[in-house]
Structure 1
Amino acid sequence: MAKSKLFEPITIGAHTLANRIIIAPMCQYSAVDGQMTDWHTQHLGSLAQSGAAMLTIEATAVEPEGRISYGDVGLWDDATEAAMGRVVESVRRWSDMPIAVQLAHAGRKASTDLPWHGGKQIAPGHDNGWQTLAPSAIPFDAHENPPVALDRAGLDRIREAFAAAARRAARLGLDAVQIHCAHGYLLHEFLSPISNRREDDYGGSLENRMRFPLEIFDAVRAAFPADKAVTVRVSGTDWVEGGWDVEQTAVFAQALEARGCSAIHVSSGGLDPHQQIPVGPSYQVPLARAVKEAVAMPVVAVGLITDFEQAEAIIATGDADMIALARTILYDPRWPWHAAAHLGAQVKVSPQFLRSQPIRYRDLFLP
């Protein structure tokens, strides 16, 4: 069997990752006042034994108003930093998998109920609700409470909040930071002409719409250790005519690369309820491929990647440099083990799991 491309190492920032499988950030809606809980310890601890190359902590708000819901994780004060520190320390006690954190602000899509309670927006003045913020006073959905358009002081505050969270991530010894510019949240809202109707230096032209996300990147990059990776997650398209698209994404990716971005993770959608998404296996991979043609930095593909040969082909054909798994690995936390067995590769596991190796896959686990 030919050597698997999916299990070849790759260097991102200071880390040479063991393979091309990244665990994407997955919101658990299980924090209390932004503080991680025992749920996160067992959830992330399980994923840290998966054999993937890097684990990414879920969307982590840089200020309380930036949470998607009242159950979201934060990294905005000493209490949220200490809670994350306890979880990271516990996970690292049993795994040396590199750990990243996704820093985020939900913008106009903040202040929602938990998904299993319907996920609807909670208006300010109601329990667990607050006033949302955005580039322009345009709600995500017409029936929702409109966001407040950010003024210059608000932009400065949020920029510093991202930088402060990056400094906290550095103090915790996290290995990388990912900036969330996707899925209709604040930085994506600045990028898309659908949600950004500003008439100042932060709206109008593509250059202006990119300005605030690029300022956030610069602030985070300056605040995080130079030898560690800062990456960005983008939506490659809004799937809405007249919105953000893959051509603009490629320009944004080039601007990020020029500023020292270590990798770009290409997802899609989330900005507008009228989106028409052609969902199917690998449906976002063409977006990753288009971005990869525009930049030299590593590109991560994500979205309905479930099959071992499918994942191998994405890397082997050069569509992307890495894949990210979310629902797939939430459903099967040992997916990389099974992929390695199928593709004739190896993964690293803790010694407590060595006895689980099937005889027919005698060489699956690295020594």
Structure 2
Amino acid sequence: MAKLFEPLTIKNITLKNRIVMSPMCMFSVKKEDGLVTPFHITHYESRAVGGTGLVMIEATAIEPRGRIQPTDLGIWSDEHIDGLHTLTDRIHAHGAHAAIQLGHAGNKAKTTDTPIAPSSEEPAITAMTPTMIDQLIDQFKVAAIRARKAGFDIIELHAAHGYLLNQFLSPLSNKRTDLYGGTKENRYRIVQQVIDAVKSVFHGPIFVRISADEYHEDGNTAEDFIYFSQEMKDQGVDLIDVSTGGLVNAAINVFPGYQVSHAEMIKQGANILTGAVGMITEAKHAEEILNNNRADLIFIGRELLRNPYWPRAASEALDVNIDAPTAYKRGWT
């Protein structure tokens, strides 16, 4: 059996293979109310039909002003639960597990609300007070309760790509002088508190997505990212989803697997499960990453947008037989 198609047990969940649909913003909410639409159901269910082991839905906003775009999915209201539950039901119906990425865009939000950030010298951006930080932590907690009620198996916290939790982690964007700024221990504090809050109400696996390279000489170092990851592991985080960039403008040399070395760095340096992401399009490349112990899960993004049945193509490339959906057996065999 190719390792890409080996099961992986994380806490109380056994994924049928190592293929994960990476969270990708769809910007497809129609009324800017954060509610699931028929498009979302078709979109995510088709990837489960195609054989993906874990389908992770897009960054889902924990409050309206935390949306990346007004057309993002939301989880700030109980009204969102039913639609999200329909999504998890349709994903589970095809033997896949369902994950949700909880996020807040911070000052990268493009809504009519005044954006918030750890610190700011711009009058158009509100620097968060301690009370606002407490409210944010509670919003993540309540969102995790809603995610549990909606049937999600796994929660991922979005602390990457220059969004709010990433802004706290980085010295490039966090200029606070209180307990949430300055040292790496202080910059990590809000992430620590969010993880603890989510763990108190959600008992399935918890992932965290980080940007493990800020492409700036004054940003966090590899040692800083390993420290953050070790702290997350000590708190009970199960896997680090390792991406890069997004906080500041940077010229990034992009090529197939360009972020895999960062997943390997975190995996080896913090002794924690990692997911690799970033222009991984070929099955044999994915297999190499897993067999060389560079990561434990393969997050497939744009290639799954192009081909919902990528797992089938991967199985053929690796000479592995996988079960075809009953309705498609005549075409798959």
Same fold (TM over 0.5): yes
Could you tell me how far apart the structure 1 residues matched to 2:301 and 2:221 are?
23
**1:357 corresponds to 2:332:** yes
Could you tell me how far apart the structure 2 residues matched to 1:322 and 1:138 are?
40
2:157 maps to: 179
Q: Is the 8 A contact 1:138 1:195 kept in 2?
A: no
1:263 maps to: 239
**1:98 corresponds to 2:76:** no
SS state at 1:294 partner: helix
Q: Is the 8 A contact 1:20 1:53 kept in 2?
A: yes
1:186-225 to 2 correspondences below 5 Å: 186-225=164-203
**1:230 corresponds to 2:206:** yes
The number of residues matched between the two structures is 331
Give CA-to-partner distance per residue, 1:180-232, whole Å, 9 cap, x none.
0000000000001010000001001110111111111111111102xx10111
Question: Does 99-108 or 128-137 show the bigger shift?
Answer: 128-137
**1:346 corresponds to 2:326:** no
SS state at 1:43 partner: helix
Q: What code does the residue aligned with 1:197 have?
A: K
1:283 maps to: 258
Q: What code does the residue aligned with 2:232 have?
A: L
Question: Does 10-19 or 174-183 show the bigger shift?
Answer: 10-19
* Alignment match of 1:19 (pick from 17, 20, 24): 17
Gaps (5+ residues) in structure 1? 112-127, 140-144, 359-367
2:69 maps to: 69
SS state at 1:22 partner: strand
SS state at 2:156 partner: strand
Identity across matched positions, percent: 38
Shift in Å, 1:178? 0.4
1:4 maps to: 2
Q: What code does the residue aligned with 1:54 have?
A: L
Compute the TM-score of the two structures, normalised by the length of structure 1: 0.87
1:108 maps to: 107
1:166 maps to: 144
SS state at 1:179 partner: strand
State the superposition RMSD in angstroms: 1.4
**1:30 corresponds to 2:28:** yes
Q: What code does the residue aligned with 1:243 have?
A: G
**1:244 corresponds to 2:220:** yes
1:123 maps to: none
Gaps (5+ residues) in structure 2? none
Cα 1:138–1:294 change in 2 (3 A) is farther
SS state at 2:52 partner: coil
Compute the TM-score of the two structures, normalised by the length of structure 2: 0.96
Q: Is the 8 A contact 1:240 1:276 kept in 2?
A: no
1:116 maps to: none
Shift in Å, 1:244? 2.4
1:121 maps to: none
